[in-house]
């Protein structure tokens, strides 16, 4: 995939991210949430009693750095729901290592894995 990221709006980027999730995990049926009041995730897949969640954060520039307050609501909501197995955090901006290390403290059952995906990874797909 090679997109002109700057020309996408937030909803279009959510669609790209959802499609990327399907490329990563084709065994799941990924669906977009409604654009507002989405319980802090933009797309999801369900299997048995668990869910996978995805949250997409669009940026007009690759120089932007994602801040913790942009993804923290997704992590907290996933923990409170207590049935989320994996979370995909996708952005076309930069993800600081400090956020990845901080987020790793949220990984405990049922949450097994958090994927941090930036525009460099998406461009290779």
Its domain, for residue 81, covers: 5-124
Do 33 and 46 form a contact (C-beta atoms < 8 A)?
no
Measured between alpha carbons, how far is 109 from 86 in angstroms, rounded to an integer? 10
Handedness of CA 119, 10, 65, 30 (dihedral sign): negative
| 96 has a pLDDT exceeding 50 | yes
Q: How confident is the model at residue 93 (pLDDT cuts 50, 70, 90)?
A: confident
Q: Which residues contact 67 (CB under 8 A, 6 or more apart)?
A: 99
Q: Chain centroid to CA 113: how far?
A: 12
Give the up-direction half-sphere exposure of residue 11: CA atoms within 13 A in the CB hemisphere. Answer: 5
| 116 has a pLDDT exceeding 60 | yes
Structure token digits, residue 50: 């668990």
Fill in the DSSP letter of residue 36.
Answer: S
| 124 has a pLDDT exceeding 50 | no
| 71 has a pLDDT exceeding 60 | yes
Average pLDDT over residues 9-19: 92
- Give residue-wise pLDDT tens across range 32-48: 998 777 889 999 999 88
Structure token digits, residue 2: 């090679």
In this prediction, residue 54 carries a pLDDT of 96
Structure token digits, residue 63: 């120089």
Number of domains composing the chain: 1
Measured between alpha carbons, how far is 125 from 122 in angstroms, rounded to an integer? 5
Q: What is the CATH number of the domain that holds 30?
A: 3.40.1350.10
In this prediction, residue 80 carries a pLDDT of 93
């Amino acid at each position: 995939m090679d997109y002109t990221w700057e020309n996408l709006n937030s909803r279009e980027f959510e669609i790209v991210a959802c499609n990327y999730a399907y490329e990563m995990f084709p065994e799941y049926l990924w669906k977009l949430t409604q654009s507002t009041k989405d319980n802090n995730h933009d797309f999801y897949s369900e299997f048995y009693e668990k869910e996978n969640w995805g949250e997409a954060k669009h940026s007009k520039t690759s120089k932007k750095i994602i801040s913790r307050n942009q993804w923290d609501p997704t992590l907290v909501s996933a923990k409170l729901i207590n049935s989320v197995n994996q979370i995909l955090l996708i952005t076309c901006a930069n993800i600081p290592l400090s956020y990845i290390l901080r987020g790793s403290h949220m990984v405990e059952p049922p949450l097994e894995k958090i994927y941090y995906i930036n525009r460099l990874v998406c461009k290779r797909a």
